[in-house]
């Protein structure tokens, strides 16, 4: 099995998996406002973002194969990691480790980033009183 990254863009990846004569195209796109999607040979799985954040796991069935996409996104809206499994076997991985980050860690990082961005705004409002 050979895996090749065809396209690497902001919150989007296109990957080709060749196994014998069969070629499968995998797509992850986190660019939708309030939604993300993954596709396996054009078969899409869409899911709404939860808690105003990205969906961490997608499952897509294509023929006899089951694909799992595990996605992590940094608070500054870049891809942190992307792991793709086919029938329980990891076929693609990129990004920072560990790939399996707890939801609590992600929420804490998002809260910290929001505090850094919004802290000066709240301090300015308090100064106006």
With a cut of 90, say whether residue 48 has pLDDT above it. Answer: no
Beta-strand runs (E) in 10-125: 12-19, 22-29, 35-40, 43-48, 57-62, 65-73, 79-86, 89-95
The stretch 16-26 carries a mean pLDDT of 94
Identify whether the C-beta of residue 91 lies closer than 8 Å to the C-beta of residue 74.
no
Interval 72-122: pLDDT, tens? 888 778 888 999 999 999 999 998 765 555 667 667 777 777 777 777 777
pLDDT, residue 10, reads 92
Residue-averaged pLDDT of the chain: 82
Structure tokens at 24: 């499968």
Integer Cα distance of 100 and 70 in angstroms: 8
Q: Tell me, what's the pLDDT at 34?
A: 64
The structural domains of the chain, with segments of one domain joined by +, span 2-128
If residue 8 lies in a helix (H) or strand (E), which one and from where to where?
Answer: strand 2-9
Q: What is the pTM of this model?
A: 0.71
Give the torsion sign (CA, 98, 100, 102, 106).
positive
pLDDT of 4 over the 80 cut: yes
pLDDT of 112 reads 75
List C-alpha distances in Å: 67 to 2, 60, 125: 16, 5, 49
Question: Per-residue pLDDT averaged across 63-75, rounded?
Answer: 87
Residue 94: Cβ within 10 Å count: 15
Strand order across the beta sheet in which 65-73 lies: 57-62, 65-73, 79-86, 89-95
| pLDDT for 97 | 63
Contact criterion met (CB below 8 Å) for 32 and 40:
no
């Amino acid at each position: 099995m050979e895996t090749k990254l065809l396209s690497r863009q902001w919150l989007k990846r296109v990957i080709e998996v060749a196994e014998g004569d069969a070629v499968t195209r995998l797509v992850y796109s986190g660019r939708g406002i309030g939604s993300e999607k993954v596709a396996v040979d054009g078969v899409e799985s869409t899911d709404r973002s939860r808690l105003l954040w990205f969906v961490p796991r997608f499952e897509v069935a294509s023929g006899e194969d089951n694909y799992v996409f595990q996605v992590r996104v940094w608070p500054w809206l870049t891809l942190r990691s992307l792991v793709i499994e086919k029938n329980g076997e990891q076929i693609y991985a990129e990004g920072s480790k560990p790939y399996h980050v707890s939801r609590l860690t992600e929420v804490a990082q998002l809260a910290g980033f929001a505090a850094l961005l919004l802290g000066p705004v709240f301090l300015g409002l308090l100064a106006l009183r």
